[in-house]
Amino acid sequence: MKGRVLIAAGSDSGGGAGIQADIKAVTALGGYAATAITALTAQNTRGVFGVLPIDPAFIRQQLEVVLDDIGADCIKTGMLHDAEVIETVASTLAAKAPDVPLVVDPVMVAKGGESLLQSEAVARLKERLLPRATVLTPNLPEAEALTGLRIADPEAMRRAGEALRAMGAAAVLVKGGHLPGPRIVDVLVTASGVRRFEGERIDTRHTHGTGCTLASAIATGLAQGMDLEAAVGRARVYLLEAIRTAPALGAGHGPVNHAHTVREFGR
């Protein structure tokens, strides 16, 4: 089966982001999701109320047993929490899956503003995972934190993407959802040049897990043999519809509708 995606990320008890969003997105796009859970969180649409780290040795074991048996066509990382976890994931992938495409979503801050990556871990992320990334998918605050640049427009997004490529990432998708305006611009910077993706902005508070969902959707495309631009394009279309048809759950930032691609039998 082509389309095996191995995800190393944290769990979201509310089901809208993290491993739960990853599994839903991969499955909805016809891939197969396997996981290595890096942390447990107690959260809902209002915020993150607790984080329980997973022993790095057990994270390594999760990755190894999946790679040894099921294998992977693409790997995606999300919340890695601290420097030791980043080192564990990076070293395991180097040993077990050095040539498998890797989508790195540098999850640093939750939708509600809570920090999900310890400050001392940022340097380790830049040192160990950026050079391994087939594509890095930062939002604007993450891109600013990683580069030290202020990003206020698509041209600055391009410069940030080029700076992150200079740090070692093969390609960078800088997501522009934090910029104001009626349309959202994402900028993909690769060795071949720059590609802008544009789409309508949907006025809604139900956007929890959009970063996780987009990165996992891109990883699914790469796992299925799509080229990067095609994988990004399909992932954006999928996410836009998931936002548009969000189920409006919770009192805060609600989840999107990951299952909109799934037909309901008997109707």
Taking CA atoms, 236 is separated from 62, 145, 173, 242, in Å, by 30, 24, 11, 10
Which sequence positions are flagged as catalytic? 175, 207, 209-212
Dihedral sign of CA atoms 220, 225, 227, 229 in order: negative
Dihedrals φ, ψ of 96, to 5°?
-105, -25
Structural contact between residues 189 and 133, judged by C-beta atoms closer than 8 angstroms: no
Taking CA atoms, 58 is separated from 19, 63, 196, in Å, by 16, 9, 40
